[in-house]
Structure 1
Amino acid sequence: MLRYLRFIFIGFTGLVLLTLALANRGQVQLRLLPEGIGNMLGTAGGWSMPLFVVILGSVAIGILVGFIWEWMREMRLRQAAKVQTKTVARLEKELAVLKDSNSVPPRDEVLAILAGDGRK
């Protein structure tokens, strides 16, 4: 059921993006600097492209920046989890060694006397 919902969502998203692209086919001039400052610096050129490319490109760059930001934010959490995993592995190994060394209880003479009837 979720598989079909995923396909429906992908199809709906594709239809919305296609509609957006068809509605915004007009050419726009994209510049790095405003026209006045660009003329002063000698970089008055720009790129001419359809508006939907600018819109979808901006969305894609925003998503990419968000992913990178989140990855960097979670880096310290991943490092802490790595340290905890190493600590758990070390403690489990230590516990296994202690269990092996305590598997045969040492023979205590007092307990042996108490466990028996006390006569020799």
Structure 2
Amino acid sequence: MKTIRYAFWAIVALCLILVGLGNTAMVTVRAMPEAISNLLNISPDVQLPLFVVIFIGVAAGLMIGFLWEWVREHRIRSDARAKTREAEALKREVADLRASKAQENGDDILALIDAR
């Protein structure tokens, strides 16, 4: 299984390297359209290689997707925590009931068997 995982990541790395080598041309990235930047006299332009723009776009998309899923699964995580707390409380209650039952019967052997 590790071999398949390493092969997959090797193929992904090779693809990223090929995309990087194939897109080395410099491009201008603008934060706002020219009409608005001329109106406000602000021109936030950056010169970057195209592969950097592509990788930043992919990384931003992944982070937005991870955040979206984390927010969406909040209810599931909180339900799981509540169920875990409930299960722990029930385990403590069963242990207390077993201990009280053993004390009522006064039989040490049965108390040891029930403790398991």
Measured against the shorter chain, the TM-score band is 0.7 to 0.9
Gaps of 5+ in 2: 106-116
In the alignment, structure 1 segments of 5+ residues that lack a partner are: 107-120
Equivalences, count: 106
1:1-120 residue pairs with structure 2 within 5 A?
2-103=1-102
Q: Secondary structure at the match of 1:37?
A: helix
1:27 aligned partner, one-letter code: M
Q: Root-mean-square deviation (CA), in Å? A: 1.6
1:91 positional shift: 0.9
Instruction: Give the drift of 1:79.
Output: 1.2
**SS in structure 1 at match of 2:27:** strand
Deviations 1:27-78 (A, max 9, x none): 1000111111111111123000001000011000110111111111112211
Runs of 4+ in 1 over 3 A off after TM superposition: none
Q: Greater share of helix residues, 1 or 2? A: 2
**Which is higher, the Rg of structure 1 or of structure 2?**
1
